Amino acid sequence: NAGVTQTPKFRILKIGQSMTLQCTQDMNHNYMYWYRQDPGMGLKLIYYSVGAGITDKGEVPNGYNVSRSTTEDFPLRLELAAPSQTSVYFCASSPRGRGEAFFGQGTRLTVV
Partner 1 sequence: GNSVTQMEGPVTLSEEAFLTINCTYTATGYPSLFWYVQYPGEGLQLLLKATKADDKGSNKGFEATYRKETTSFHLEKGSVQVSDSAVYFCALSDQSGANSKLTFGKGITLSVRP
**Please, what is the minimum distance in Å from the beta carbon of residue 62 to partner 1?**
18
Strands 4-7 and 10-13: unpaired
Name the residue nearer to partner 1 (CB basis): 38 or 79: 38
Q: What are phi and psi of 92, to 5 degrees?
A: -145, 155
User: What residues make contact with partner 1 under the rule CB under 8 A?
Assistant: 4, 31, 33, 40-43, 45, 48, 50, 58, 90, 92, 97-106
**DSSP labels, 50-83:** EETTEEEE-S--TTEEE--SSSSB--EEESS--G
C-alpha to C-alpha distance for 64 and 49, rounded to whole angstroms:
14
- Identity at 106, one-letter amino acid code: G
Give me the least distance between CB of 48 and partner 1, in Å please: 6
Provide the minimum distance between the beta carbon of 16 and partner 1 in the complex, in angstroms, as a whole number: 29
Distance (Å) of CA 37 to CA 3, 41, 89: 20, 7, 6
Rounded to the nearest whole angstrom, what is the least distance from the CB of residue 13 to partner 1 in the complex? Answer: 21
Q: Between residues 14 and 41, which has the closer beta carbon with respect to partner 1?
A: 41
Select 36 or 85, whichever has its Cβ closest to partner 1.
36
- Among residues 14 and 39, whose Cβ is nearest to partner 1? 39
